[in-house]
Amino acid sequence: MDTLLVPPAALQRRPGPLWLLAEVTYRCPLHCAFCYNPVDFAQAGPELSTDDWLKVIREARALGAAQFGISGGEPLVRDDIEILVREARQLGFYTNLITSGVGLTEARLAALKDAGLDHIQLSFQDATREANDLITNTRTFDLKRKVAAMTKAAGYPTVINCVLHRTNIDHLDRIIEMAVEIGAEYLELANTQYHGWAFLNREALMPTAAQLAEAEAVTERWKARLGKKMRILFVTPDYQTKKPKKCMNGWGEVFLSVTPDGLALPCHTARMLPGLTFPNVRDHGIDWIWHDSPLFNRFRGTAWLPEPCQSCEDKDKDHGGCRCQAFMLTGQADATDPVCPKSPNHRLIETALADAEKPGTVRPLVFRDPKNSARLARPF
């Protein structure tokens, strides 16, 4: 009887993760005020060992994951990145290093290439040294230019990510021009997402509506001029577009992130959410974590959604938005994301946007460093 060959629906498992992001460390030589890392990163437990990471890589690949991203912090402060890349690549992962470029020497680059690293994404904070150094609070701009040239010479496409915010968005024309000068194939312009340190610095980082409109116009001009020569992706800020976004394509659907101290998360920032137990990869296999852990099932799908989402026609599109954003703004992780105009808390967004328009407000930046982290001792 061929029906026996088809397992009952209840036994058919959902697909495994497609994308494993290893946040290998919270250590970072830079101090970006827009960093999405938790503000209290200084209190995180000890970093995973090389063997712990190798286990995570093998288990995620066995579940079908095909993307392996390495970020942090600055991943290159660890000296075992080459080992992790080699294992991941050999198992068939597409390997992507997300780096500020600090620590990427010729020797290190050669070793990574030899290990099979597929791709490097370089973050640029700004095109002018003054602004770049202001927002990262270090002198790293010349180095970034050098690193971009080096990776290009090694045969990597040059892929640059630049986070946009109030203090650099007016330099966008120069930022794009510089990406062209160094021969970038791809430029991602990501408006700040207000998580972690960025949430703490939200007042100082939020651009005005006029700044944002100008930035989009500048981007469109360059796009028309450059065509396929350099692709530009402009990631719109959800505060301004008022469009809630799914957590990483849906909670527990494709994305698995592991923190430096081993917590498995359905999105980069979920460790801030209250009342949840975060499984540690030291104690549990990835298979159990992905399919069976209460955390990964907590906000999976749409059945858990409150009103007004539950009866909204867009619920499959956005799953009620970002859980961390809902929690940071309303104190409730299962609330409708306030960026949605239908949220009963949407005025919180309107107020933040109105504040961004107020001239003369003093907007000090709190830089991301271990001292501020220990002093503030709060998740965001």
Partner 1 sequence: MTADSARPAINRLFRFQWEPAQQAHVLLYPEGMVKLNQSAGEILKRCDGARTVPQIVADLEAAFNASGLAAEVEAFLEMADAQNWITWNTD
| Among residues 174, 186, 232, 366, the one that binds partner 1 under rule CB under 8 A | 186
* Residue 248 C-beta: closest distance to partner 1, Å: 10
| Among residues 177, 314, 350, 355, the one that binds ligand SF4 under rule CB under 6 A | 314
Q: Segment 230-259, which members bind ligand SF4 (CB under 6 A)?
A: 244
Question: Is residue 101 a contact residue for ligand SF4 (CB under 6 A)?
Answer: no
From the list partner 1, ligand SF4, none, pick the one residue 155 interacts with, judged by a Cβ distance below 5 to 8 Å according to partner type: partner 1
**Region binding ligand SF4 by CB under 6 A among candidate stretches 11-19, 172-180, 209-217, 305-313:** 305-313
- Residue number, 16 or 320, with CB nearest to ligand SF4: 320
| CA dist., res. 42 & res. 49, Å (int) | 18
Question: Is residue 183 a contact residue for partner 1 (CB under 8 A)?
Answer: no
| Among residues 20, 28, 48, 63, the one that binds partner 1 under rule CB under 8 A | 63
Which parts of this chain interact with ligand SF4 (CB under 6 A)? 28, 30-32, 35, 37, 72-74, 100, 123, 244, 308-309, 312, 314-315, 318, 320-321, 336-337, 340, 342, 368
Give me the residues that bind partner 1 (CB under 8 A), please. 15-16, 18-19, 63-64, 66-67, 69, 92, 94, 96, 118-119, 121, 155, 157, 159, 185-186, 228, 231
